[in-house]
Amino acid sequence: MTTREPQTEMKRVPDEDVLVEIENLKKYFVSESGYIDRFKFELDGGLPIEYDINYVKAVDDVSLKIKKGETLGLVGESGCGKSTLARTVLRLLEPTEGSVYFDGEDLADLSGENLRRRRKDIQMIFQDPQSSLDPRWKVGKIVEEPMEAHGMLDDEGRERRAKELLDQVGLDPQHYNRYPHEFSGGQRQRINIARALSTNPDFIVCDEPVSALDVSIQAQVLNTLKELQEELDLTFLFIAHDLSVIRYISDRIAVMYLGEIVEFGDEKEIFNNPQHPYTQSLLDSVPVPDPDQEGRKKILEGDVPSPINPPSGCRFRTRCPDVIPPEEFAFDDEEWAAIRRFTRAVTRREFDRSELAEMKERYFGGLSFRGDTDDVLEESLGYIEDEEWEQAEQLLTETFLEKSICAKEKPEYDVTPEFGSSRHYAACHLHRD
Ligand SMILES: Nc1ncnc2c1ncn2[C@@H]1O[C@H](COP(=O)(O)OP(=O)(O)O)[C@@H](O)[C@H]1O
Ligand code: SF4
Ligand SMILES: [Mg+2]
């Protein structure tokens, strides 16, 4: 694993529109078991000792620019690395690699008083309003605490400001002396918002702030956040797994999958012109309200792979319905689909060796492959006949799936936007020339 390069420049020339710049950010966690990265330590005169270290690649080379005054929505399935990204940006977690610039200043270069002062400008709102509010503290104290920590105002001034803030977030300032349990879920999240605002920040990271709330309450809290943003000139990084929430709040959207950003663009562009099969699947899997239609159009296939050993090339390739066939075989769509379906069935041991003839007919009936492809398929069937499933799986995967450009190269493409002129990025080889 690499360590941080020492930074030579403390302050870079800031892009005027950009408040936060995330550059090649990585956050790996050490996982306890496994065999992926093997380190060998030789002790003086002793025998070599081997340690097995695995890394959970929770955030893997993410770059994003967040513009002043915008809401950048970050969306993706649970476990894809959204919270880790947020916490690493805020330096609640130490990055494994990469930088975060706030107003042109590298946060990694700050320490002591300078870092403390910067922290005032950057706040966070978490998902669970219950656990982030100390039940023994009155609301007034909860809202005032960050101001006190940063030495802002005197006792009286802080009380006055806390009451103003309660009013501003839609709570009754008279409730200053109440305890969190006396409030509803939505109101508790408003207390959190008031607390986050207390230090007068420029940038707020909202990590699933409405996910725990009733749908009817969600819209009200989102509206308050929007109004506050306008009023106070705030910049948001807004995380959610719910697309309707993301659509409502975001100016631009980043779609995350297994530690990486796979698509990025204006809200309109992502919803009306999605260019990554993962984004398309996410949009398609939103339940359709019409009862005559099927509940969901297309459900994502397969399981999310482990971030310890993510797939090579495009990380979405193990679930992607559009994987590109390897050039050397010149398969047509039907042949390629058959090979992928068969490989998946073998990987999942979906049939018994007694059904081999039937399976051959089911997957390949009516298709005639070139000699070399046919040979490989026959060889794999031979393995299955001998109950050597792993060999069959390996042969099929190595011969076909791993020859796809989707497995061989990491995709990175800019596509032409249909809506507006903002950059539209899609990490999918379907966009190669
Ligand atoms: N402290 C940690 N140690 C090891 N793995 C972690 C830790 N925190 C998160 N992870 C792993 O990192 C991945 C991303 O998690 P997270 O950032 O919480 O995703 P999300 O917020 O998108 O649901 C998951 O596989 C999770 O298990
Ligand atoms: S690069 Fe290949 S596997 Fe990845 S999303 Fe595009 S088509 Fe699918
Ligand atoms: Mg999370």
pLDDT of residue 303: 77
Rounded to the nearest angstrom, the distance between the alpha carbon of 33 and the centre of ligand 1 is 16
pLDDT band at 11 (very low <50, low <70, confident <90, very high): low
Rounded to the nearest angstrom, the distance between the alpha carbon of 242 and the centre of ligand 2 is 23
Rounded to the nearest angstrom, the distance between the alpha carbon of 320 and the centre of ligand 2 is 6
Rounded to the nearest angstrom, the distance between the alpha carbon of 364 and the centre of ligand 2 is 24
Q: String of b and e for 177-206 (b: at least 16 CB within 10 Å)?
A: ebebeebebbbbbbbbbbbbbbbebbbbbb
Q: Does the pLDDT at position 422 exceed 70? A: yes
Per-residue pLDDT, averaged over 223-251, amounts to: 96
pLDDT of residue 304: 85
- Spatial separation of the C-alpha atoms in residues 58 and 84, rounded to whole Å: 7
pLDDT band at 183 (very low <50, low <70, confident <90, very high): very high
Mean of all residue pLDDT scores within the chain: 89
- Spatial separation of the C-alpha atoms in residues 350 and 331, rounded to whole Å: 24
Q: String of b and e for 129-154 (b: at least 16 CB within 10 Å)?
A: beebbeeeebbbbbbbbbbeeeebbe
- Spatial separation of the C-alpha atoms in residues 238 and 205, rounded to whole Å: 6
**Atom in ligand 1 nearest the alpha carbon of residue 76:** 22
Ligand 2 atom 3 nearest Cα: 317
**What DSSP state is assigned to residue 39?**
E
CB atoms within 10 A of CB 323: 24
Q: For residue 422, report the phi and psi dihedrals to the nearest 5 degrees.
A: -65, 155
pLDDT of residue 1: 42
- Spatial separation of the C-alpha atoms in residues 323 and 314, rounded to whole Å: 9
How buried is residue 43: exposed, middle or buried, by Cβ count under 10 Å (0-12/13-18/19+)? exposed
424: enclosing H helix or E strand: strand 424-426
Rounded to the nearest angstrom, the distance between the alpha carbon of 313 and the centre of ligand 2 is 9
Cβ(258) to ligand 2 under 6 A?
Answer: no
Cβ(311) to ligand 1 under 6 A?
Answer: no
* SS3 at position 359: helix
Cβ(57) to ligand 1 under 6 A?
Answer: no
Return residues with CB closer than 5 A to ligand 3 (ion).
82-83
Rounded to the nearest angstrom, the distance between the alpha carbon of 258 and the centre of ligand 1 is 10
pLDDT band at 58 (very low <50, low <70, confident <90, very high): very high
**Atom in ligand 1 nearest the alpha carbon of residue 30:** 4
- Spatial separation of the C-alpha atoms in residues 411 and 430, rounded to whole Å: 9
pLDDT in tens, 351-389: 888 888 898 899 998 898 888 999 999 999 999 999 999
Contacts 24+ apart (CB under 8 A), 355-363: 356/381, 356/384, 356/385, 363/338
pLDDT of residue 2: 42
- Spatial separation of the C-alpha atoms in residues 237 and 20, rounded to whole Å: 10
Cβ(322) to ligand 2 under 6 A?
Answer: yes
pLDDT of residue 296: 44
| Pocket probe mutation, ligand 2, options 262, 402, 430, max atoms within 8 Å of Cβ | 430
**Atom in ligand 1 nearest the alpha carbon of residue 207:** 21
Q: Which residue has the higher pLDDT, 433 or 92?
A: 92
Cβ(259) to ligand 1 under 6 A?
Answer: no
Rounded to the nearest angstrom, the distance between the alpha carbon of 429 and the centre of ligand 2 is 6
**Atom in ligand 1 nearest the alpha carbon of residue 307:** 25
pLDDT of residue 8: 43
Per-residue pLDDT, averaged over 191-206, amounts to: 96
For tokens 């709102």, the residue is: 125
**CB of 226 within 8 A of CB of 206?**
no
Nearest ligand for residue 410 CA: 2
Q: Which residue has the higher pLDDT, 291 or 285?
A: 285
Q: Does the pLDDT at position 217 exceed 70? A: yes
Q: What percentage of residues in the chain have a pLDDT greater than 70?
A: 88
What single-letter amino acid sits at 123?
A: Q
SS3 labels along 234-294: CEEEEEECCHHHHHHHCCEEEEEECCEEEEEEEHHHHHHCCCCHHHHHHHHCCCCCCCCCC
Nearest ligand for residue 92 CA: 1
Q: Which two tokens stand for residue 322?
A: 């559009």
Dihedral sign, CA of 313, 315, 317, 318? positive
pLDDT in tens, 320-342: 999 999 999 989 999 999 999 99
pLDDT of residue 158: 97
Name residues whose C-beta falls within 8 Å of residue 109's C-beta, 6 or more positions apart in sequence.
7, 10
Per-residue pLDDT, averaged over 229-245, amounts to: 95
pLDDT of residue 389: 94
Ligand 2 atom 1 nearest Cα: 428
Q: What percentage of residues in the chain have a pLDDT greater than 90?
A: 73
* Total residue count of the chain as it appears in this document: 433
**Atom in ligand 2 nearest the alpha carbon of residue 320:** 8
Rounded to the nearest angstrom, the distance between the alpha carbon of 414 and the centre of ligand 1 is 28
Q: Which residue has the higher pLDDT, 35 or 30?
A: 30
- Spatial separation of the C-alpha atoms in residues 233 and 391, rounded to whole Å: 60
**Atom in ligand 2 nearest the alpha carbon of residue 277:** 5
| Pocket probe mutation, ligand 2, options 260, 275, 320, 340, max atoms within 8 Å of Cβ | 320
- Spatial separation of the C-alpha atoms in residues 263 and 412, rounded to whole Å: 10
pLDDT of residue 176: 96
pLDDT in tens, 132-142: 788 999 999 99
Ligand 1 atom 7 nearest Cα: 29
Ligand 1 atom 2 nearest Cα: 29
State CA 210 to chain mean position distance. 17
pLDDT of residue 47: 58
**What DSSP state is assigned to residue 425?**
E
Point out which residues pair with 124 in neighbouring strands: 205
Ligand 1 atom 6 nearest Cα: 29
How buried is residue 47: exposed, middle or buried, by Cβ count under 10 Å (0-12/13-18/19+)? exposed
How buried is residue 113: exposed, middle or buried, by Cβ count under 10 Å (0-12/13-18/19+)? exposed
Q: Does the pLDDT at position 289 exceed 90? A: no
pLDDT in tens, 295-329: 445 567 777 899 999 999 999 999 999 999 999 99
pLDDT in tens, 59-113: 999 999 999 999 999 999 999 999 999 999 998 899 999 999 999 899 888 888 8
- Spatial separation of the C-alpha atoms in residues 244 and 73, rounded to whole Å: 11
72: enclosing H helix or E strand: strand 71-75
